[in-house]
Amino acid sequence: MIHVTAIHQLLEQQARIRPGAPALSARDATLTYAQLWHAVQEAGSHLAGLGVARHDRVAVYLEKRFETVAALWGTSVAGAVFVPVNPLLKGKQVAHVVRDSGARVLVTSAGRLAAVRDHLGDTGLTTVLLVDQPDGAAPAGSGAEPDGLTIRSWATAPDGDAPPVDAPPAEAPPSGPDTDIAAILYTSGSTGAPKGVVLSHRNLVVGATSVSGYLGNTADDVLLAVLPLSFDAGLSQLTTAFAVGAHVVLLDYLLPRDVPAVCEKYGVTGITGVPPLWTQLATVDWPQRARQALRYFANTGGRMPRSLLVELRELFPASVKPYLMYGLTEAFRSTYLDPAQVDLRPDSIGRAIPNAEVLVLRSDGTRCGPGEPGELVHRGSLVALGYWNDPERTAARFRPVPGYDEPWRAAPEPAVWSGDTVVQDAEGYLYFVGRADEMIKTSGYRVSPTEVEEAALGTGLVREVVALGVPDARLGQRIVLVAAAPEPVDTDRLVKEMRQSLPTFMLPAEVRLVDTLPRTPNGKLDRPTVRARVTAQVTK
């Protein structure tokens, strides 16, 4: 056993303990832990050979494949910082991530490079590694190019001839895990370009241990990695699995029905998704073997509507446990609801996960009483280091909690102030109210869009909805509900049925029907885009 202080050491440890066990599957192929660790070591050596040094940034712009994982974990072996780029992003967005992070190296494929290359000229990028170019072959445009990029082939190809893993491992980062940077994850905000959240090795290692602990993960689990690896919950499927020696199945699905088929093939025991994904998966046929193999399903990236939770619990056997989770990239994961509490508190986001402290505070930093709305504030070892190259926003979001300054600390410990409004009951269970910047103020009332959306979904007439407030001279704001439905909907009937569960002031003044709602690259409903479209229509 080794003392784990860097994220790649989780994988190294499993390669020593269970070298022949399956670690990673993709596209009908599987790597054992020994083979994967071998690929990661080679990736780290290759990056070091290119001059990648400690704390340099390496951007990885790929779909889910073996080389993607090898590049991410190999960057850690080299002592550098990995920057996963969502494969759904386009040229301008990719260029922003590369430029903002200061990445020197980009790992991608020939097709992806061709699609974004025109945007990379002023990003500071120096080297591109193409994973789909055979080792030893001259890649198209190899060597120094007119735009200053050096293009090379990816020199590592996982195979079955892994050397003994007791060979001397790559040197771990020399500094402690509290401050040693492991990754930068770019997350979209309500306004402006995506911002980079800086995660330490400590964040990732402690997070993997915490999440695998409350999910009860073991080496017998098979976890489906269906969310983007650039999304903290998607990356977590890898870190959580490698913490316990589980098997991860990588999947970029084209159709929702692809998911149950892969689950049946590999005997998937755990799936983590976001509400829009679960909405899709609740409507497709699940083979009996896929449903029987499943041990749990988990939700993150937004509160799961109660009606959807009911659908999923009816779809899967009673033995399948639902885990309702709340988190933010700045703190990895904050709360989860124990499955034993789901029937008692189906609307709760639970309590703090292990190794975290979650507080509900007023604007002056004092604690809220039971039932009193306040801001969710997260303290502990999972709090990120801040925003990359953005000290102003870091200072605003990451700051100490008044009265929590331990005298033995050299400096106050920062917490992350989420911007989310929650309430806590007398037993410590938390309930999500809404984002501070999404709250609707109408007729003198503050209305949570989440509550309006829950009521609409509860009618069964619509599949996905976004509620928002638009300016109104009489009301302050009026509530507009934008809804996607599988078939034509009588909007008057929809509002009438919502009236059964909502007071009049919370009913939508207007319902707009659309074929589909836009999504972010991470699969969440793209609320800023919906708001922009509604606002544009209002001002015409």
Handedness of CA 51, 53, 57, 60 (dihedral sign): positive
Query: Based on C-alpha coordinates, what's the Rg of the chain?
Result: 24
Please give the average per-residue pLDDT across 504-530, as a whole number: 90
| Assigned token pair, 536 | 């544009």
Query: pLDDT at residue 406 above 70?
Result: no
pLDDT of residue 78: 95
Strand extents, DSSP E, 140-252: 143-144, 150-153, 181-187, 195-200, 222-225, 247-250
Question: At 387, which helix (H) or strand (E)?
Answer: strand 386-387
Handedness of CA 311, 291, 248, 239 (dihedral sign): positive
Residues of each domain in the chain carrying CATH 3.40.50.980: 7-252
Q: How confident is the model at residue 414 (pLDDT cuts 50, 70, 90)?
A: confident
Measured CA to CA, the distance from residue 464 to residue 315 in angstroms comes to: 19
Query: pLDDT at residue 410 above 60?
Result: no
Query: pLDDT at residue 156 above 90?
Result: no
Which is more confident, 167 or 479? 479
Render pLDDT for 240-260 as a digit per residue (tens, 0 to 9): 999 999 999 999 988 999 999
Which is more confident, 141 or 476? 476
Tokens 């990732």 belong to: 204
Alpha carbon 291 to its chain's center: 24
| Assigned token pair, 515 | 């074929």
Please give the average per-residue pLDDT across 411-424, as a whole number: 88
Is CATH 2.30.38.10 correct for 353-434?
yes
pLDDT of residue 176: 43
Second-level CATH architecture of 7-252: 3-Layer(aba) Sandwich (3.40)
Residue % of the chain over a pLDDT of 90: 68
pLDDT of residue 88: 86
Closest of 357, 377, 355, 356 to residue 368, by C-alpha: 377
**3-class SS string, 33-85:** HHHHHHHHHHHHHHHHHCCCCCCCEEEECCCCCHHHHHHHHHHHHCCCEEEEC
pLDDT of residue 402: 83
Closest of 122, 84, 124, 133 to residue 104, by C-alpha: 124
The bridge status of strand 57-60 relative to strand 81-84 is: parallel
Please give the average per-residue pLDDT across 479-493, as a whole number: 93
Q: How confident is the model at residue 462 (pLDDT cuts 50, 70, 90)?
A: very high
Query: pLDDT at residue 211 above 60?
Result: yes
Return contacts of 137-141, CB within 8 angstroms, 24+ apart.
139/110, 140/110
pLDDT of residue 540: 54
Measured CA to CA, the distance from residue 247 to residue 367 in angstroms comes to: 42
| Assigned token pair, 238 | 């890898």
Question: At 127, which helix (H) or strand (E)?
Answer: strand 127-130
Measured between alpha carbons, how far apart are the two ends of the chain, in Å?
66
pLDDT of residue 169: 41
Q: Which CATH number fits domain 438-539: 2.60.40.420, 3.30.1360.120, 3.30.300.30, 3.40.50.10860?
A: 3.30.300.30
Question: At 26, which helix (H) or strand (E)?
Answer: strand 22-26
Please give the average per-residue pLDDT across 151-171, as a whole number: 51
Full strand arrangement of the beta sheet holding 510-514:
464-472, 476-484, 510-514
Measured CA to CA, the distance from residue 129 to residue 352 in angstroms comes to: 41
Helices (H), 480-526: 491-498
DSSP state of 367: B
Q: How confident is the model at residue 172 (pLDDT cuts 50, 70, 90)?
A: very low
Query: pLDDT at residue 161 above 50?
Result: no
Helices (H), 104-225: 110-116, 201-214
Q: How confident is the model at residue 284 (pLDDT cuts 50, 70, 90)?
A: very high
Are 326 and 304 in contact by the 8 Å Cβ rule? The answer is no
Please give the average per-residue pLDDT across 355-376, as a whole number: 94
Which is more confident, 177 or 8? 8
CA distances from 360 to 335, 376, 433, 540 (A): 13, 5, 12, 41
Which is more confident, 156 or 266? 266
Report the C-alpha dihedral over residues 360, 435, 453, 270, rounded to 10 degrees.
Answer: -70
Please give the average per-residue pLDDT across 468-488, as a whole number: 88
| Assigned token pair, 182 | 């492991």
Render pLDDT for 37-74 as a digit per residue (tens, 0 to 9): 999 999 999 999 999 999 999 999 999 999 999 999 99
Rounded to the nearest integer, the mean pLDDT of the chain is: 88
pLDDT of residue 157: 39
Q: How many CA within 13 A on the CB side of residue 478?
A: 13
Residues of each domain in the chain carrying CATH 2.30.38.10: 353-434
Query: pLDDT at residue 113 above 70?
Result: yes
Residues of each domain in the chain carrying CATH 3.30.300.30: 438-539
Q: How confident is the model at residue 178 (pLDDT cuts 50, 70, 90)?
A: very low
Measured CA to CA, the distance from residue 335 to residue 326 in angstroms comes to: 5
Which is more confident, 134 or 22? 22
- Using DSSP, state whether 338 is helix, strand or coil: coil
Report the C-alpha dihedral over residues 425, 214, 269, 241, rounded to 10 degrees.
Answer: 140
Closest of 99, 330, 108, 83 to residue 230, by C-alpha: 83
Q: At what angle do helices 232-244 and 7-17 cross, to 10 degrees?
A: 30
Query: pLDDT at residue 137 above 70?
Result: no
